[in-house]
């Protein structure tokens, strides 16, 4: 008897399993007696066959739209141009087509309303699998990463500049980091996040999803590193250029320094000073250059005085030579040369007196007098010169006053007329014989003769005192005494050019030259120096040393005027000071002084600046 068949199972219901008999996710139900649904669901989840339900993002994360129908957001599959500067800053354009034209004209794919962008400025197109930017003959040109280009293959992160607009080229994987990127890769793509310990397959999927993000971070780090390297290279290049310029300046400074030293050795102090000034400007930190420049600046004016002394000695202006030599102090490096020149001056004086004596013995009184005049102007009490002068003077001595008194006592009829008496006194004085003039004046009987005697005594005392003070190297006191002698000479000579008055004026001119040269060293004392030098020329128009120094002061005043002219727009006080110094130094008729006066009036508001 056949075995009884087991009863057939109930067929599985068609359609979805009723609630409570399945997983509730579209899977079929299990047969009665199978594993519980929770166990089955867990097993499927662990094997990766059934995705877990989506997990909502936490509060504060980026807003994420989850498309339940599609299951994930659509990924960008084309490069983009991000506008980072210009009128459309913040805009983004995807390179969906293989050609994108860019410009200000409305017919372009990417329109940029920027006046610095041409109507048809450039285009971005795909060539042989690479994106390339090409300039279309634009007015301002196209630049990539700061360099002008006509054609350039683009890479991720390249910056395209068109006028005032900049665009950044971003590859499909090169997304910008934002709040959404802080989510897990699955949430960033709109997929549910896997929680718990993922399976190896899930880990690989997660790693694959994160690969673009990791690549972006790596590219960003590489760009930052490259930028830092480029900046460092630029800094090193700038430092190298600065060092090269410094070396070049120092090299030029050394050349000028060596030239200045050679000029110093040859005695050309003024030229050496100018060379050393240039060297000090090129290398102000070199102490040796500074030391030589300081010495040259101090000795250059003294060298000019030495040159003036030699020139005066050559034209037999012994007083001018001694005045110039007096401006060279004992602590100067030129002191020895000045001493040698003084010896030459003394030798020239001796030679002049000897030659005058020879001419006097030969009967050439005029030639002898011409030789003795400059000697006696420098040394009026020189005995040998006076002896030669007495030998050829031939002056008749008047009758002594006691004899004339005896004649009057013996019944002389009358005193000599006043006019001839005064005339004799003046003739002796104008001839340079102060002794005869005094002697004649002492015997005068008229009031006019008595006044002449008083003036002669004043002249004689002041002249001798001035010469003594000059010999004692006290020029200021000597100047006052000689000025008194000159005033007495004007009262005596009555406009006539006498020998003694000429000697006084020559001595005054030499003293004024000496004082002017000593005060010409600084700008502040230029007015006093110029006044002394003008007095020197006034007393002796043939004083070439004073005239030369006056010309130098005039040139310095032009430099001071230019200094004030340059400073008038930025430093009014400095300009006003410069203009005042020029006005005080130069005579009012000088053109530079007139220009300085006009600018000073403008700065003081006395006249309009437009005049």
**Per-residue model confidence as pLDDT tens digits over 244-289:** 666 777 787 788 888 888 887 777 777 888 888 888 887 888 888 8
Do the bridges between strand 165-170 and strand 159-162 make them parallel or antiparallel, or are there none, so unpaired? antiparallel
CB 340 within 8 A of CB 306: no
Q: Residue 110 has what DSSP assignment?
A: E
In whole angstroms, what is the distance from residue 84 CA to residue 176 CA?
13
Among 153-157, 258-262, 321-325, name the most confident range.
153-157
Share of the chain above pLDDT 90, in %: 9
CB 152 within 8 A of CB 125: no
Section 121-150 average pLDDT? 91
Instruction: Grade residue 186 by pLDDT with cuts at 50, 70 and 90.
Output: very low
**Per-residue model confidence as pLDDT tens digits over 399-444:** 444 444 444 444 433 434 445 777 888 888 888 888 888 888 888 7
pLDDT at 39 over 80: no
CB 433 within 8 A of CB 393: yes
Among 33-42, 45-54, 578-587, name the most confident range.
578-587
**Per-residue model confidence as pLDDT tens digits over 344-392:** 888 888 888 888 888 887 778 888 888 888 888 888 778 888 888 877 6
Better-scored residue on pLDDT, 578 or 42? 578
pLDDT at residue number 401: 42
Better-scored residue on pLDDT, 58 or 128? 128
pLDDT at 159 over 90: yes
* Residue 366 C-beta-side C-alpha neighbours within 13 Å: 0
Instruction: Grade residue 64 by pLDDT with cuts at 50, 70 and 90.
Output: very low
pLDDT at residue number 16: 43
Better-scored residue on pLDDT, 60 or 285? 285
pLDDT at residue number 70: 41
pLDDT at 210 over 80: no
pLDDT at residue number 203: 64
Instruction: Grade residue 184 by pLDDT with cuts at 50, 70 and 90.
Output: very low
- Poorest-pLDDT segment among 155-169, 234-248, 395-409: 395-409
In whole angstroms, what is the distance from residue 53 CA to residue 447 CA?
146
pLDDT at residue number 452: 82
Section 482-496 average pLDDT? 83
Section 192-207 average pLDDT? 56
pLDDT at residue number 152: 93
Section 285-311 average pLDDT? 84
Section 311-326 average pLDDT? 84
Share of the chain above pLDDT 70, in %: 75
Answering whether pTM is above 0.75, one says no
SS3 label, residue 18? coil
Q: Nearest-CA neighbor of 539 among 548, 528, 547?
A: 547
In whole angstroms, what is the distance from residue 391 CA to residue 378 CA?
20
* CA 341 remoteness from chain centre: 42
Q: Nearest-CA neighbor of 489 among 464, 444, 456, 461?
A: 456
User: Distances from the Cα of 575 to the Cαs of 392, 401, 557, in angstroms?
Assistant: 62, 69, 13
Average pLDDT for the chain: 76
DSSP secondary structure, 479-516, as one string: HHHHHHHHHHHHHHHTT---HHHHHHHHHHHHHHHHHH
Helices H, strands E: what count in the chain? 19, 11
pLDDT at 49 over 70: no
In whole angstroms, what is the distance from residue 539 CA to residue 484 CA?
14
- Look at the block and give the residue holding tokens 């997990």: 55
Better-scored residue on pLDDT, 3 or 535? 535
pLDDT at residue number 419: 53
**Per-residue model confidence as pLDDT tens digits over 78-128:** 888 999 998 888 888 888 888 999 998 888 999 998 888 889 999 999 988
pLDDT at residue number 439: 83
Structure tokens at 53: 């339900």
């Amino acid at each position: 008897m056949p075995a009884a068949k087991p009863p057939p199972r109930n067929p599985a219901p068609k359609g979805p399993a009723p609630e409570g008999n399945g997983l509730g996710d579209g899977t079929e139900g299990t047969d009665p007696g199978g594993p519980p649904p929770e166990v089955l669901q867990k097993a499927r989840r662990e094997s990766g066959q059934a995705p877990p339900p989506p997990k909502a993002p936490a509060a504060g994360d980026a807003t994420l739209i989850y498309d339940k129908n599609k299951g994930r957001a659509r990924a960008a599959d084309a490069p983009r141009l991000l506008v980072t500067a210009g009128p459309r800053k913040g805009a983004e354009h995807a390179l969906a087509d293989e050609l994108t034209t860019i410009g200000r004209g409305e017919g372009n794919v990417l329109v940029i309303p920027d006046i610095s962008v041409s109507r048809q400025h450039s285009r971005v197109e795909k060539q042989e699998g690479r994106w390339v930017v090409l300039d279309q003959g634009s007015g301002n040109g196209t630049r990539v990463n700061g360099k002008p280009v006509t054609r350039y293959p683009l890479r991720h992160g390249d910056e395209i500049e068109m006028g005032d607009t900049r665009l950044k080229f971003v590859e499909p994987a090169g997304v910008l980091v934002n709040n959404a990127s802080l989510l897990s890769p699955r949430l960033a793509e709109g997929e549910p996040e896997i929680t718990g310990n993922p399976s190896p397959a899930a880990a690989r999927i997660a790693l694959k999803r994160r690969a673009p993000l990791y690549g972006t971070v790596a590219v960003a780090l590489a760009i930052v590193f490259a930028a830092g390297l480029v900046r460092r290279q630029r800094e090193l290049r700038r430092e190298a250029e600065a060092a090269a310029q410094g070396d070049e300046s120092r090299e030029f400074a050394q050349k000028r320094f060596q030239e200045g030293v050679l000029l110093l050795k040859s005695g050309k102090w003024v030229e050496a000073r100018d060379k050393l000034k240039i060297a000090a400007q090129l290398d102000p930190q070199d102490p040796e250059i500074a030391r030589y420049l300081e010495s040259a600046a101090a000795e250059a004016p003294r060298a000019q005085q030495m040159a003036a002394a030699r020139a005066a000695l050559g034209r037999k202006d012994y007083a001018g030579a001694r005045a110039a030599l007096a401006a060279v102090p004992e602590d100067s490096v030129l002191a020895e040369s000045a001493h040698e020149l003084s010896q030459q001056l003394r030798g020239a004086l001796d030679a002049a007196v000897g030659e005058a004596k020879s001419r006097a013995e030969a009967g050439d009184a005029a030639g002898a007098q011409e030789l003795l005049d400059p000697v006696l102007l420098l040394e009026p009490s020189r005995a040998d010169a006076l002896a030669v002068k007495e030998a050829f003077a031939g002056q008749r001595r008047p009758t002594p006053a006691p004899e004339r008194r005896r004649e009057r006592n013996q019944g002389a009829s009358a005193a000599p007329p006043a006019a001839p008496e005064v005339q004799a006194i003046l003739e002796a004085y104008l001839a340079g014989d102060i002794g005869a003039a005094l002697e004649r004046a002492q015997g005068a009987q008229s009031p006019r003769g008595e006044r002449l005697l008083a003036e002669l005594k004043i002249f004689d005392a002041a002249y001798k005192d001035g010469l003594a003070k000059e010999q004692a190297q006290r020029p200021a006191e000597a100047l006052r005494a000689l000025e008194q002698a000159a005033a007495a000479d004007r009262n005596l000579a009555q406009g006539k050019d006498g020998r003694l008055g000429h000697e006084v004026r020559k001595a005054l001119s030499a003293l004024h030259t000496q004082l002017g040269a000593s005060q010409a060293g600084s700008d502040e004392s230029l007015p006093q120096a110029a006044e002394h030098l003008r007095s020197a020329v006034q007393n002796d128009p043939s004083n070439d040393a004073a005239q030369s120094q006056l010309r130098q002061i005039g040139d310095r005043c032009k430099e001071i005027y230019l200094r004030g002219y340059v400073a008038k727009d930025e430093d009014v006080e400095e300009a006003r000071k410069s203009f005042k110094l020029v006005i005080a130094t130069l005579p009012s008729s000088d053109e530079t002084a007139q220009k300085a006066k006009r600018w000073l009036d403008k700065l003081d508001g006395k006249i309009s600046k437009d005049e």
